[in-house]
Structure 1
Amino acid sequence: MDVSEPQPQPHVVILPFPAQGHIKPMLMLAQLFCNNANFYVTFVNTHHTHNLIHKLINKTNFKRLFPTLRFEAIPDGLPPQHPRSGPQVLDIFFTMGFESKAKFKDVLTGLHQQEEWSPPTCIIADGIMSFAIDVAEDLHIPVITFRTYNASCTWLYFHIQNLIQQGEIPFQGDDDMDRPIACIPGFESLLRRRDLPSICRLEDAQNPILQFYITQTSAMTRASALILNTFDELESPIISKLGSLFPKIYTIGPLHALFKSRTTHYTESDSSNGSLREQDMTCLTWLDSQPSKSVIYVSFGSVATLTRDQLLEFWYGLVNSEKPFLWVIREGLLLGDDTVVETPAELEVGTTESGCIVRWAPQEEVLTHRAVGGFLTHSGWNSTLESILAGIPMICWPQLADQQVNSRCVSELWKVGLDMKDFCDRSTVEKMVRNLMEGKREEIMKSIAGNSKMACDSVKEGGSSYCNLEKLIEDIRSMRSTTKNIAHVGNE
């Protein structure tokens, strides 16, 4: 072969788990590949999320900016009327099985057979979508796993089986929750029972959800590398420990900041931030009318839910704190029969005077607005990372998955916020808001300012995440020679 012959651009297939917290960073990576490396990218959603994204993006602008990014869809195994949110989102764990795997394989073999783009060079699969690793092995396509948790929680999940063997889990929600957990290397003096992932509070070690995470985490080590949406300076000791499990680790976060630092000549409407909900931009106008650093922003993400009583306790706490608040109360936030809440008169008055409630907010813009001084959050990793980057201290009220671990790191490891897990009575909410905005603010602000600077520096040219993205791009380019002759695989 003539070595001077132009080589086709790599073609990366990306498969996220169908939830906003997973789609957002993986779609940002897809856009970076297209914009900065000229890669072809096929982004594979479920039919449900595929339809939601296409309703929200400006297709003309998006295609102009990312001409080498296209979307495919596979089934998630759920009926159309399934809500796919709240506690029921877990149903997808057990329905994205045989049918999804078979359809994903069909997508890949179809990409091999079309002539417009080069065949898939590699697959980047969500860390809880291990069927993609099975398919990649069948088709002899290199696969990289992308865990949308941080390094700390990813490391902890690799020790869940050991926690079971040590008798530390499972436990009930009222069983000595402040008991120290000392058997996870690197976290010997950090974690308590209440700081472990929510799945550790299940009654039975054989619970299918707990076993699902154990199986998925183990499968990740079959991938050739690990991608994390974090930055070296924040989690260096734990990233080093993960190096014992993966031959290569690419820490490329905060991805939303890396994308903005490396993408020019675009507006927010040109790209997609992975939101599956329409954003209410009017809250930015409300923020414009508020004093600098005065507002507490409140959002519990896209999955967590509240009971009616919890919502009222938060509401009273916010009003009683006498701080202006911007609160996201999305559709589906309230559980089941609690969807109708009669608002007490004093809360209506308090909200009219100092509050703003929206269905969904443009969170990145909110956190960087001059009026915002604190964030009451569910401690999802995207929200945590966005808050650190923006230099906004947090009050953490975690509910699911990695959120308990994140909130402990926020309060005790990085010292950029306060941890309110397992409590939300109105007096506690009021006290926490006052502490964040007044009492402990100076101490916390010093710490978050330093972490914010490190996050900003990591995505600049020469920064750790900037360089790690370059390494990832270079390594994917080197995969071309091993995948160029496998187009026939899958028809055998």
Structure 2
Amino acid sequence: METNGSHGITVRCKRIILFPLPFQGHISPMIQLANILHTHGFKITIIHTEYNSPNPSNYPHFIFKSIKDRFSEITDKLPGNLDTNYFLKHLNESCVDSFRDCLAALLAESGEERVACVITDAVFYFAQAVADDLKLPRIVLRTSSIGCVLAYNVLPFYSKKAYFNLTKQDSDYEEPVPEYPTLKFKDVVKITNNPQGMGDFTSNMLSQMKASSGIIWNTFKELEECELETLPQDFPVPSFTLGPFHKYFSASTSSLIVQDRTIFSWLDKQPSKSVVYVSFGSVAYITESEFQEVAHGLDNMGLPFLWAIRPGMVVGSEWLESLPEKFLERVGERGRIVKWSPQQEVLAHPATGCFWTHNGWNSTLESICEGVPMICSPWFVDQPINARYVSDVWKIGVLLEDGFKRVGIEKAIKRVMTGKEGQEMRDRITCLKEKVNLSLAEGGSSFRSLNNLVDYISSF
């Protein structure tokens, strides 16, 4: 049986099994990838954990299979414990048997299309051994930048040098890291509060990426050309850069949080490129004092702003209780606060002038795709790496180097929103936006990479 894909590519009708990590920043690109592959004629089955499970009714063209993850056993440690390695290690140990059983059952089903391969999030490193045992090719989806993986591959997580324990008082704090000079020591400090655990995790993940049948990246060649050229030296498996995934569909979403769409009538009233959009993602937490500094910084600038404050984001607070006294009265109609926003559409709105972000990779890509310069406040793992690329390599944003201080916040907003420097950032990110569109167009780098991936999977 054969079917024509959306670009006229003829592929054999085979089934692909996908296995996303159950966090917003990982579920979204995996679902987007599933949709992309479905349009090219593949049947899609998604194995998912009970924790943060997707809503099958939103994707009637996919088959969903739920597996036990025992994540409820450790959720009492959220949000106080931000050692992500703890949760990732748990998932890699608790999902082994249920994933193996589910995958084996799917392979044994009669009358169904043959399974070509399994695509798992790279963080599920245990899945390589399972796939090998079942003699099924495993392709990994890495939901970060290539630069992040290259940095992880060389950072000295096990070093006895106090790389991860430096403070502002140390002379090396502002200096480049010898192993990866794009980063500064103060960026490395933010990546993890548990270098031993992070070292164990990255070692497992990277070794199993190298053992896989291929790597899919949610990036595009023109953004990370140098990194892509050096990648094969350490990762000698096929790589496919077919991103940005979300651009294949109009405002596609797999949000686990209800989005507030009432904001658009307010945005429509704001001048072009005047609004500061603030969102720190679906996982990071902020202290009460940091929250108040953000509020004062936005208040003092006098610009219109849209602020997405996730319930529970402020430690010890349910939602807005920690705002400065009379803050809402002072800002009035100049500011809008929502619990969650349809981010892709907000960034695409003509009124949006800059994006104050935690620099998760999805958010960073979405900002690039819409030509919106960034203010960067990274928390952990890949975010400090993404932020350093935004500020120092691509030069399309400003990094808040010293955390949340209202004076620094005001200076950063001013740098991005006004003057020659801000216009230069806008020009550079507009150029990248144009390169995104060219990469996705027929004959472009992402277009060709997707075709190569389709052919590769069809060959199994």
Instruction: Mark yes or no: TM-score above 0.5.
Output: yes
Cα distance in 2 for residues equivalent to 1:22 and 1:332: 21
**Could you tell me how far 1:449 is from its partner in structure 2?**
1.1
Aligned to 1:167: 161
What do the CA deviations read for 1:11-61 (whole angstroms, capped 9, x no partner)?
Answer: 1111121111111111101011112x21111112211222xx31xx754xx
What do the CA deviations read for 1:288-344 (whole angstroms, capped 9, x no partner)?
Answer: 111111100000000111001100000000010111000000112111468673433
**Could you tell me how far 1:199 is from its partner in structure 2?**
3.6
Aligned to 1:264: none
Q: Which amino acid aligns with 2:64?
A: F
In the alignment, which of 106, 114, 132 is matched to residue 127 of structure 2?
A: 132
- Secondary structure at the residue paired with 2:177? coil
Aligned to 2:137: 142
In the alignment, which of 194, 199, 207 is matched to residue 218 of structure 1?
A: 207
Cα distance in 2 for residues equivalent to 1:275 and 1:200: 26
Cα distance in 1 for residues equivalent to 2:316 and 2:44: 39
Aligned to 2:148: 153
In the alignment, which of 101, 114, 123 is matched to residue 96 of structure 2?
A: 101
Aligned to 1:469: 450
In the alignment, which of 184, 205, 215 is matched to residue 192 of structure 1?
A: 184
Cα distance in 2 for residues equivalent to 1:197 and 1:474: 42
Asked whether 1:248 is paired with 2:241, we answer no
Aligned to 1:48: 51
In the alignment, which of 373, 391, 398 is matched to residue 411 of structure 1?
A: 391
Cα distance in 2 for residues equivalent to 1:211 and 1:329: 33
Q: Which amino acid aligns with 2:432?
A: N
What do the CA deviations read for 1:427-481 (whole angstroms, capped 9, x no partner)?
Answer: 11111112211132211111111111111111111111111011001100000xx
The root-mean-square deviation of aligned C-alpha atoms, in Å, is 2.3
Cα distance in 1 for residues equivalent to 2:11 and 2:445: 29
Cα distance in 2 for residues equivalent to 1:153 and 1:456: 23
Given that residues 280 and 360 in structure 1 are in contact (C-alpha distance below 8 angstroms), is that contact kept between their aligned partners in structure 2? Answer: yes
In the alignment, which of 289, 292, 310 is matched to residue 312 of structure 1?
A: 292
Aligned to 2:14: 10
Given that residues 360 and 383 in structure 2 are in contact (C-alpha distance below 8 angstroms), is that contact kept between their aligned partners in structure 1? Answer: yes
Give the structure, 1 or 2, with the largest relative contact order (CA under 8 Å, sep 6 or more).
1
Cα distance in 2 for residues equivalent to 1:472 and 1:88: 38
Aligned to 2:3: none
Given that residues 200 and 210 in structure 1 are in contact (C-alpha distance below 8 angstroms), is that contact kept between their aligned partners in structure 2? Answer: no
Asked whether 1:39 is paired with 2:42, we answer yes
Cα distance in 2 for residues equivalent to 1:118 and 1:359: 42
Q: Do the aligned partners of residues 340 and 364 (structure 1) sit closer, same or farther apart at CA in structure 2, a change above 3 Å counting?
A: closer
Cα distance in 1 for residues equivalent to 2:78 and 2:354: 27
Q: Do the aligned partners of residues 84 and 460 (structure 1) sit closer, same or farther apart at CA in structure 2, a change above 3 Å counting?
A: farther
Given that residues 48 and 66 in structure 2 are in contact (C-alpha distance below 8 angstroms), is that contact kept between their aligned partners in structure 1? Answer: yes
Aligned to 1:228: 217
Given that residues 197 and 402 in structure 1 are in contact (C-alpha distance below 8 angstroms), is that contact kept between their aligned partners in structure 2? Answer: no
Given that residues 309 and 319 in structure 2 are in contact (C-alpha distance below 8 angstroms), is that contact kept between their aligned partners in structure 1? Answer: no
What do the CA deviations read for 1:56-100 (whole angstroms, capped 9, x no partner)?
Answer: x754xx42xxx3x22112222222792686454734213224441
Aligned to 1:454: 435
Given that residues 242 and 449 in structure 2 are in contact (C-alpha distance below 8 angstroms), is that contact kept between their aligned partners in structure 1? Answer: yes
- Secondary structure at the residue paired with 2:140? strand
Q: Do the aligned partners of residues 415 and 114 (structure 1) sit closer, same or farther apart at CA in structure 2, a change above 3 Å counting?
A: same
In the alignment, which of 17, 30, 47 is matched to residue 26 of structure 1?
A: 30
Given that residues 221 and 446 in structure 2 are in contact (C-alpha distance below 8 angstroms), is that contact kept between their aligned partners in structure 1? Answer: yes
Q: Do the aligned partners of residues 218 and 394 (structure 1) sit closer, same or farther apart at CA in structure 2, a change above 3 Å counting?
A: same
Aligned to 1:482: none
Q: Which amino acid aligns with 1:148?
A: T
**What is the 5 A alignment of 1:81-120?**
82=75, 86=79, 88=81, 90=84, 91-120=86-115
Aligned to 1:485: none
- Secondary structure at the residue paired with 1:296? strand
Given that residues 397 and 422 in structure 1 are in contact (C-alpha distance below 8 angstroms), is that contact kept between their aligned partners in structure 2? Answer: no
Aligned to 1:72: 65
Q: Do the aligned partners of residues 210 and 384 (structure 1) sit closer, same or farther apart at CA in structure 2, a change above 3 Å counting?
A: same
Given that residues 295 and 373 in structure 1 are in contact (C-alpha distance below 8 angstroms), is that contact kept between their aligned partners in structure 2? Answer: yes
Aligned to 1:183: 179
Aligned to 1:258: 248
**What is the 5 A alignment of 1:477-492?**
477-479=458-460
Q: Do the aligned partners of residues 415 and 76 (structure 1) sit closer, same or farther apart at CA in structure 2, a change above 3 Å counting?
A: same
Q: For structure 1, which runs of at least 5 residues remain unmatched after alignment?
A: 1-5, 261-267, 480-492
Q: Which amino acid aligns with 2:184?
A: R
**Could you tell me how far 1:127 is from its partner in structure 2?**
1.2
**What is the 5 A alignment of 1:291-306?**
291-306=271-286
Q: Bigger shift: 80-89 or 163-172?
A: 80-89
Q: Which amino acid aligns with 1:9?
A: C
Q: Do the aligned partners of residues 327 and 337 (structure 1) sit closer, same or farther apart at CA in structure 2, a change above 3 Å counting?
A: closer
Cα distance in 2 for residues equivalent to 1:254 and 1:85: 31
Q: Do the aligned partners of residues 108 and 343 (structure 1) sit closer, same or farther apart at CA in structure 2, a change above 3 Å counting?
A: closer
- Secondary structure at the residue paired with 1:72? strand
Cα distance in 2 for residues equivalent to 1:115 and 1:106: 16
Q: Which amino acid aligns with 2:130?
A: V
